[in-house]
């Protein structure tokens, strides 16, 4: 700013020269007259005495969360300013960094400049708590709450929340925030009860909540909080009764209806929860919970009705619920409509990322794989600074490539994800499967072994490694041990039964192989399981039964690569 001032003075000087009247040249030109502005000396204070410089430096320190530097700068600014707000800021920062000496100077300066009694008492109470002086803290907090300032009790709560010793804070809360001293404001009572609960003073919190119901009989929020307290204490019946009373007092209160519906849902009473939400004002949360309740109950009729209701809502409501509309459309197998709704989810919507992920899945389902991967590629650029979401984008990209049987691209996507989250078990498992499908057995085995080092008891990893070894016809004793362990843990899992059957086939135990593979095939009509069963039946000489299984597989997945390669081997 000093440089700017000097530059402005210079510009004024130049302007003065430009406006001087023109003279005819003389034979002996005289020396040019000195302009008045040229004689001016601009006084600029050094940085330690420049108020603006100190304030700017303080704010910049706050911007980078350097509280100690901010406290130093504001301490200097306080001495240069007659503004009590600057002194107040200096005091708060000094308290925050536990600099008692600087706090004392700032408080004295603030008081000299005309601090309000309530603000001064709050600051001195906080300082006393930092010093461990409970008696002084109580004296100052009493001054604060007796001031009748509109924010007195809020300030009281802030001081106790900031205390380093919760036991000390709880003691002061119970001593000062009594029913006799609390104001005629239900929000203050609720705040003190919640604060007591947070500080571990549960009996106090319950007493204040009960007293608030007696004093503020018409206030629904008081009853709702008391209900919440009962629910936490295991009294579900008492909580429901209080919530019913709260809703009776404020039937259009959406928040109360949501709280009560959530409580009913947690208790398993989905029908009552849905009935409660079906009527009255709606918002994005009520629609979301209604959809979740219907989905949990597999109530397709209600889901369809909710979808129609939202479709007919105002443009504003539809815009607020675009992501939910997309979900509802997907549940009804309306892929094109779902994609259109997801496209209307705004960039500032908390569901924007999820909407894009679902859009990629739907695009692939519509045969637009290039567009799906292009969308995911854009997400990978947009979320470079958010590792969790970046990982999700890479993983979905890889999974879509797996569905397309483009295994090298899947490996590449999983590898990029692992660069973001090294040694992630889910990503190692996915890449191992991709390597196995790409006939890169050694790399698949390497990933599965790495995963088992991270999670030795991972059943899926044990099964995957065992199957990969069995399919390659190598290390069969180890494969038997791995799949046997998985089978013991999950005896009814069709995927593990398939692995066991295929291992028995590799060991030459055809009868045991057929038995295990039939169990897997009947439990889950998976195309790959069917191919395995068909091949073993064919090797047993039961060609008719094998062909019947192959025909069923063809109906399930006409383009199954494993089926095609197996048929070529069996019918050379």
What confidence tens digit (pLDDT) does each residue in 146-187 have? Answer: 998 999 999 999 999 988 899 999 999 999 999 999 999 999
Q: Over 50: is that where the pLDDT of 7 sits?
A: no
Q: Over 60: is that where the pLDDT of 26 sits?
A: no
Tell me how far apart the alpha carbons of residues 565 and 572 are, in angstroms, rounded to a whole number. Answer: 10
47: helix, strand or coil: helix
pLDDT given for residue 33 in this prediction: 56
Binning pLDDT at 50, 70 and 90, where does residue 6 land? very low
Tell me how far apart the alpha carbons of residues 431 and 417 are, in angstroms, rounded to a whole number. Answer: 10
Q: Over 70: is that where the pLDDT of 210 sits?
A: yes
What does the pLDDT look like over 47-71, one tens digit per residue? 677 889 899 999 999 999 999 999 9
Chain centroid to Cα 204, Å, comes to 33
Rounded mean pLDDT of 4-21?
34
Return all residues near 560 (Cβ < 8 A) that are at least 6 apart.
527, 528, 531, 553, 554
Q: What is the CA radius of gyration of the chain?
A: 37
Q: Where do the structural domains in the chain lie, given as residue ranges?
A: 474-572
Return all residues near 382 (Cβ < 8 A) that are at least 6 apart.
none
| pTM recorded for the entire structure | 0.64
Pick the CATH number of 474-572 from 2.60.40.10, 1.25.40.10, 3.30.470.30, 3.40.50.720: 1.25.40.10
Check residue 107 and give left, alpha or beta (phi > 0: left; psi -120 to 50: alpha). Answer: alpha
Tell me how far apart the alpha carbons of residues 230 and 263 are, in angstroms, rounded to a whole number. Answer: 12
Mean residue pLDDT of the chain comes to 88
Q: Over 80: is that where the pLDDT of 347 sits?
A: yes
Binning pLDDT at 50, 70 and 90, where does residue 8 land? very low
Return all residues near 522 (Cβ < 8 A) that are at least 6 apart.
none
pLDDT given for residue 339 in this prediction: 97
385, 391 contact by CB (below 8 A): no
What does the pLDDT look like over 104-137, one tens digit per residue? 899 999 989 988 889 999 999 988 998 889 999 9
Tell me how far apart the alpha carbons of residues 495 and 429 are, in angstroms, rounded to a whole number. Answer: 15
What does the pLDDT look like over 497-537, one tens digit per residue? 999 999 999 999 999 999 999 999 999 889 999 999 999 99
Core vs surface per residue 207-245: b (16+ CB within 10 A) or e = bbbebbbeebeebbbbbbbbbbbbbeeeeeeebbebbeb
Percent of the chain residues past pLDDT 90, beyond the cut: 64
pLDDT given for residue 236 in this prediction: 83
Helix extents (H) in 312-455: 315-320, 322-331, 335-343, 352-365, 369-382, 387-403, 407-420, 425-437, 441-454
pLDDT given for residue 424 in this prediction: 95
What does the pLDDT look like over 387-445, one tens digit per residue? 999 999 999 999 999 999 999 999 999 999 999 999 999 999 999 999 999 999 999 99
Core vs surface per residue 420-459: b (16+ CB within 10 A) or e = bbeebbebbbbbbbbbbbbebbebbbebbeebbeeeeebb
Burial zone of 8 (CB within 10 Å; 0-12 exposed, 13-18 middle, 19+ buried): exposed
Residue, of 295 and 434, whose pLDDT is higher: 434
Task: Name the strand (E) or helix (H) holding 545.
Answer: helix 543-556
User: For the ranges 41-55, 103-117, 227-241, 464-478, which has the lowest average pLDDT?
Assistant: 41-55
């Amino acid at each position: 700013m000093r440089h700017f001032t000097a530059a402005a003075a210079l510009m004024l000087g130049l302007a003065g020269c430009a406006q001087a009247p023109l003279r005819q040249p003389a034979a002996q030109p005289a020396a040019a007259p000195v302009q008045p502005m040229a004689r001016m000396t601009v006084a600029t204070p050094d940085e330690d005495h420049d108020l603006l410089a100190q304030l700017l430096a303080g704010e910049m320190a706050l911007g980078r969360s350097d509280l100690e530097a901010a406290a130093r700068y504001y301490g200097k600014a306080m001495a240069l300013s007659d503004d009590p707000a600057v002194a107040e800021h200096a005091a708060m920062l000094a308290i925050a960094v536990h600099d008692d000496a600087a706090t004392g100077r700032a408080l004295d300066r603030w008081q000299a400049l005309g601090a309000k009694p309530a603000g001064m008492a709050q600051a001195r109470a906080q300082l006393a708590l930092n010093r461990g002086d409970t008696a002084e803290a109580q004296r100052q907090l009493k001054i604060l709450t007796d001031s009748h300032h509109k924010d007195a009790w809020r300030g009281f709560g802030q001081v106790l929340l900031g205390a380093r010793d919760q036991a000390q804070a709880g003691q002061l809360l119970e001593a000062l925030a009594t029913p006799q001293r609390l104001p005629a404001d239900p929000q203050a009572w609720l705040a003190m009860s919640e604060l007591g609960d947070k500080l571990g003073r549960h009996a106090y919190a319950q007493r204040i909540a009960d007293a608030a119901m007696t004093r503020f009989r018409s206030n629904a929020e008081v009853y709702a909080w008391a209900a919440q307290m009962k629910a936490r204490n295991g009294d579900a019946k008492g909580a429901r009764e209080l919530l019913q009373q709260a809703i009776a007092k404020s039937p259009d209160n959406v928040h109360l209806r949501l709280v009560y519906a959530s409580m009913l849902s947690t208790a398993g009473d989905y029908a009552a929860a849905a009935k409660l939400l079906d009527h009255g004002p709606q918002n994005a949360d009520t629609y979301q919970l209604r959809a979740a309740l219907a989905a949990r109950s597999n109530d397709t009729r209600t889901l369809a009705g909710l979808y129609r209701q939202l479709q007919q809502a105002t443009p504003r409501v539809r815009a607020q619920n675009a992501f939910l509309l997309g979900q509802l459309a997907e549940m009804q197998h309306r892929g094109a409509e779902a994609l259109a709704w997801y496209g209307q989810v705004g960039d500032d919507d908390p569901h924007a990322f999820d909407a894009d992920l679902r859009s990629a899945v739907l695009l692939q389902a519509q045969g637009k794989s290039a567009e799906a991967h292009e969308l995911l590629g854009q997400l990978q650029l947009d979320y470079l600074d958010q590792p969790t979401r970046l990982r999700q984008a890479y993983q979905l990209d890889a999974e879509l490539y797996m569905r397309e049987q483009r295994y090298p691209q899947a490996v590449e996507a999983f590898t990029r994800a692992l660069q973001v989250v090294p040694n992630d078990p889910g990503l190692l498992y996915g890449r191992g499967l991709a390597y196995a499908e790409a006939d890169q057995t050694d790399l698949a085995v390497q990933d599965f072994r790495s995963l088992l080092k991270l999670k030795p008891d991972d059943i899926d990893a044990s099964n995957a490694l065992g199957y990969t070894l069995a399919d390659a016809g190598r290390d069969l004793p180890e494969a038997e041990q791995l799949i046997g362990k998985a089978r013991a843990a999950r005896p009814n899992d069709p995927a593990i039964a398939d692995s066991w059957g295929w291992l028995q086939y590799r060991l030459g135990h055809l009868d045991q192989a057929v038995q295990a593979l039939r169990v897997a095939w009947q439990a889950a009509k998976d195309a790959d399981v069917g191919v395995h069963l068909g091949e073993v039946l064919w090797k047993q000489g039961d060609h008719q039964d094998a062909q019947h299984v192959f025909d069923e597989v063809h109906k399930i997945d006409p383009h199954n690569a494993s089926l095609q390669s197996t048929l070529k081997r069996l019918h050379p």
